[in-house]
C-alpha cells in the first residue's frame, strides 16, 4: 500500500535558495522581484519569483510583503493582498504612498 504522506510540494534547490534569500530581507527594507531573482542566480526571472510567492501557503512566515516591482510599486491589487502588503510595510516604518509606491532609493535592501 502506497503512502501519500509525502505528497507535499517538492521544492527545488532554486526554490529553497529563493525562500532563504527572502527570509533574510530585513524588516524595514524592500527588494524587487528582479533583484531577488538576481540574488539567487536566476537573472531576468522576476516573473518566476512572483509565481513562487503566489504559491506560498496562507499564513506563511516569509516576508513576502517586502517584495515589490521594479517601479517601486506594490503589484498586487488592493483587494488581492495589496492593502495587506501596504499595511505590513507601513507597520515596519516604510512610507507607502496612497497609490502603493515605495522609494527604492530609501528602502531597497542592499545585501
Per-residue pLDDT reduced to its tens digit, 5-33? 444 567 788 899 999 999 999 999 999 99
Q: Is residue 4 part of a domain?
A: no
- Structural domain including 77 reads 13-55+62-107
List the CATH number of the domain containing 41.
Answer: 1.10.10.10
Number of structural domains (the chain) is: 1
Q: Is residue 6 part of a domain?
A: no
Q: How far apart are CA 106 and CA 5, in angstroms?
A: 46
Phi and psi for 101 in degrees, rounded to 5?
A: -100, 145
**pLDDT band (50, 70, 90) for residue 72:** very high
Phi and psi for 31 in degrees, rounded to 5?
A: -140, 150
Instruction: Cell numbers for 12, please give them.
Output: 527545488
Q: How does 55-64 read in b/e, with b if 16+ C-beta sit within 10 Å?
A: eeeeeeebbb
Q: Is residue 8 part of a domain?
A: no
Q: Is residue 3 part of a domain?
A: no
Ranges of H-type helices in 7-60: 13-23, 33-39, 46-54
Amino acid at each position: 500500500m502506497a503512502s501519500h504522506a509525502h505528497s507535499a510540494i517538492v521544492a527545488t534547490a532554486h526554490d529553497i535558495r529563493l525562500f532563504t534569500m527572502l527570509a533574510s530581507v530585513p524588516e524595514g527594507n524592500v527588494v524587487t522581484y528582479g533583484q531577488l531573482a538576481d540574488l539567487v542566480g536566476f537573472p531576468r526571472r522576476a516573473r518566476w519569483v512572483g509565481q513562487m510567492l503566489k504559491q506560498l501557503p496562507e499564513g506563511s512566515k516569509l516576508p513576502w510583503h517586502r517584495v515589490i516591482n521594479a517601479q517601486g510599486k506594490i503589484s498586487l491589487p488592493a483587494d488581492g493582498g495589496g492593502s495587506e502588503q501596504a499595511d505590513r510595510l507601513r507597520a515596519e516604518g516604510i512610507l507607502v504612498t496612497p497609490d502603493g509606491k515605495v522609494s527604492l532609493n530609501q528602502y531597497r535592501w542592499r545585501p
